[in-house]
Amino acid sequence: MHIIDRRLNPGGKSFANRQRFLRRAKDLVQRAVRESAKDRGVEDIEQSGEVSIPVDGIREPSFRRAAGGKRDLVLPGNKDYVEGDLIERSPGGKGRGGGSGAGSGDGGEDQFRFVLTREEFLNIFLDDLELPDLAKQRMAEVETHGLRRAGYTTTGSPANLALQRTLQISLARRIALGRPKSAEVEALQRAIAEASVEAEGEEPGVRAALSLELETLERRRARIPYIDPLDLRYRRYEPYPKPVVQAVMFCLMDVSGSMTEGMKDIAKRFFMLLHVFLTRRYKHVDVVFIRHTDRAEEVDEDTFFHSTETGGTLVSSALAEMKRVVAERYDPSAWNIYAAQASDGDNSASDSDRTGQLLSREILPLCQYFAYLEVGDPMGHPLGFMQHSRETSLWHTYAALAAAGAKFEMRRVSRREDIYPVFRQLFQKRGAAQGASP
């Protein structure tokens, strides 16, 4: 008898099957994930979760008998029936016991429920979202370079000498030009030596002829070198642009008294969604929180979301702070910079011009993408807010910018449920979504 402990075997034996299953049911799962994301809080978005999909697309058919026809059932537990009793047909009562007898199994089920892991959920959830202008930015402005092998060159440093290739070419040249082999020369020398031993003085003509031949060979060998500078080949390296795989995300938020807790909650959801999204795309993501009233400061996450400040509202102060942080720590050539600003739209009238200029001249050229989210009061009349949009001062300032450049997008949102659709609009793959965004 053998006992084998399999517990330490690598797990996930079903992983490949699971992937095949998800691929098979991709459309259905995607739809189900969207549906379930609506009901989820953003905190839960990163969790694994159960989804249910219609069983139609993943059916495994087989020949089965339908419910009709004459059936015989043998059941245990007779209480008071005697032979010949007639039983009324009722859809609920006797039929149930019969169903299992005919082996109809779970055929009636029309929803298939199962649990997706966090990875799978996020992959599907963010599947058709794209970071805006990511590719373009890489091509145009990427600064770091890597080196990779790219064939051979005739010049280079000795360290890069490609020995094998050099010898191949030298061999080809030697054959082509007919350089005498050393074996030939040796054979000739031996023949001369033999001739001198055997025919001492007898027939000097033979020896002389051999010597002459040897001389010709030697001369030829000297003229055609074993390795010629022409043969030399060096390994060639070519620089190629290396994509920057780190990103920094700036979260800018107005924390003045006019922002209620509900509005902050919406903003927080948006920031978290953006963070999840960036971490899927970049190896390394930094987050910088900047809050502002009439002056701005960089804070940690907890302070950012939870402490309140009082004061007026100067949006430009936050932009200036962001510019300072970028200059200090995040070189735009090495970092992908994303910024998301959330505000209720209040800004003091005198600040509008300065904000607009700062954004268009200083901030936008640094950024990959700048998203502005205007948060309405969730307690307020949502429909009214959405419909005849009371134009806030900040919205007014930014609207002009949005019309001009593609790097900048702005949306309004006033209810939690709207966060995800708005987020999708902001990051939908370009081209596919042109029609969708208003």
Q: Where does this chain bind other proteins (CB under 8 A)? A: 1-7, 9, 11, 13-14, 16-25, 50, 58-66, 68-79, 81-89, 94, 97-98, 100-103, 107, 112-115
Q: What angle do CA 127, 426, 374 make, to 5 degrees?
A: 140
Residue 9: CB minimum distance to other proteins, A: 7
Residue 20: CB minimum distance to other proteins, A: 4
123 vs 425, which CB is nearer to other proteins? 123
58 vs 135, which CB is nearer to other proteins? 58
101 vs 151, which CB is nearer to other proteins? 101
Q: How far apart (Å, rounded) are the C-alpha atoms in residues 203 and 329?
A: 94
Residue 93: CB minimum distance to other proteins, A: 9
> Which residues share a beta bridge with 196?
none
Residue 124: CB minimum distance to other proteins, A: 14
Residue 42: CB minimum distance to other proteins, A: 23
**Residue 125: which H helix or E strand, with range?**
helix 118-125
72 vs 300, which CB is nearer to other proteins? 72
79 vs 361, which CB is nearer to other proteins? 79
Q: How far apart (Å, rounded) are the C-alpha atoms in residues 399 and 403?
A: 6
Q: Which of 431, 249, 227 is nearest to 336 (CA)?
A: 249
- 410 φ/ψ angles, rounded to the nearest 5 degrees: -140, 145
94 vs 138, which CB is nearer to other proteins? 94
Tokens of 102: 């005919």
Q: How far apart (Å, rounded) are the C-alpha atoms in residues 74 and 86?
A: 15
- 167 φ/ψ angles, rounded to the nearest 5 degrees: -70, -35
Residue 311: CB minimum distance to other proteins, A: 50
Q: How far apart (Å, rounded) are the C-alpha atoms in residues 50 and 113?
A: 7
Q: Which of 390, 393, 295, 405 is nearest to 352 (CA)?
A: 393
